[in-house]
Structure 1
Amino acid sequence: MHLNPYGEDAVRLALSLVTDPPATDDDLVARCLAYDLVIELPVTAWDRQATAEFLAEWLTVIDATVPAERARRLNDLLRFASAYPRLTDHADDGWHIHYRDPDQPLASVLRTLISVGTALHLAGRGIHRLGRCAADGCARPYADFSRTGKQTYCSPACANRSAVRRHRARAR
């Protein structure tokens, strides 16, 4: 069985690329490979630049706090990202579904993978499951993969720092 590549891992890859942008083409390739993304064409500086531009657009989805606006922004990304779903065994690693045309450059693959993955994340877990960290001085984006769906911090470290601040403020 081949797992759906358009799910949680796509959103986690997007967050990784946003919070720690790759400095070189090789860094972009390494990051994508770390998330088991098959790269079919040579990667160029255009891929890195186009990916950065797309991720800036993707962040507007996170920053939209009204559900209908979040959906509209994501639909705009999907409009330019996806093709009809197709069954493929392009890497001889098992049949699976792709929402992109074959032989696309990496930046286009990432646009589709992340847009469709985000749509599946929000549709499957809840439209509220993206946000910015609530900790003072931190605005890192996060995707809520928790069981409860009540995440408000980007990391346990930020949650702990905020808890300590609240505790110290009460103790005064």
Structure 2
Amino acid sequence: MNFDSYTDQGVEAAAELVNQLTPGFDRGKPRPLPFEPDGREQLAAQAEAEIWGVGSEMSVQDAEAFFALASRLRTVFEAAAADDSDLAATTVNTLLQDYHAAPQLARHDGETWHLHFQSQEKEAGRARARGATCATALAIVIGSHGLRRMGICQAERCDRVYIDTSRNGSRHFCSASCLSRQKVAAFRARRSRAALSGLTVADQSARDLPSGRG
């Protein structure tokens, strides 16, 4: 499924910002963040350019504002993964207030009137404008679809987040790579259990299936 196009862009941007600018594990490998100001400025500028298609060199203040935004957005995804709708909603409401979300119609660069989620004033600040877009998009998704379309990757040694746009809401991993890793891990676990019990892997797989009896 798809949300409307502008909401799609906002929620996907929120997930990407979390995945690029928060520490943890990424597809089985540690994902530390740089400590040096130059490294943090470069990473934040790279994230903005990759996510929004625009960007330039950043000041230390702008970079730290992006890292702070990513950390706060992660809280929303963690709340969704824990099925904590109250925490998700209150966090998004605070983000909407703190980042001065102001949905409005705008026209620029020869385009027709279209919706923006943030002030078009240049002095609004880069992170504030991005935060307003992400927060408003998340508010729309949570308000319309609840928490079931957001989550944290369930693969081992990965805590990257995702937005589920599958038709039946069946996504549980941040990427095809993590889905494949998890399938391999599950197969190896079945093979190990089969070896201990003297069964074939197929027989062990059948034994692992729910019996269907209440």
Short-chain TM bin: 0.7 to 0.9
Deviates more, 1:146-155 or 1:9-18: 9-18
Q: TM-score if structure 1 supplies the norm length? A: 0.81
| Per-residue deviation, 1:68 | 2.1
Greater radius of gyration (CA)? 2
Higher relative contact order (CA 8 A, sep 6+): 1
Residue-by-residue CA offset, 1:100-146 (whole Å, 9 max, x unaligned): 22312211110101111112233334322211111111111111121
Pair 1:78-2:96 in alignment: yes
Distance 2:165 2:91 in 1: 21
Matched pairs, number: 165
| Per-residue deviation, 1:45 | 3.4
Q: CA RMSD in A?
A: 2.6
Pair 1:47-2:62 in alignment: yes
Give the residue type in structure 1 aligned to 2:178. Answer: C
8 Å Cα contact 1:82/1:99 also seen in 2: no
Q: Which runs of 5+ in 1 are unaligned?
A: none
Pair 1:168-2:188 in alignment: yes
From 147, 151, 164, the equivalent of 1:131 is 151
Specify whether residues 97 and 141 from structure 1 end up closer, same or farther in structure 2 by C-alpha distance, changes over 3 A only. same
Distance 1:132 1:50 in 2: 23
Structure with greater proportional helix content: 2
Specify whether residues 163 and 28 from structure 1 end up closer, same or farther in structure 2 by C-alpha distance, changes over 3 A only. closer
Q: What is the correspondence of 1:1-172 to structure 2 with a 5 Å cutoff?
A: 6-21=6-21, 23-24=41-42, 26-34=45-53, 44-64=59-79, 65=82, 66-103=84-121, 104-171=124-191, 172=194
Q: Which runs of 5+ in 2 are unaligned?
A: 22-39, 195-214
Specify whether residues 14 and 83 from structure 1 end up closer, same or farther in structure 2 by C-alpha distance, changes over 3 A only. closer
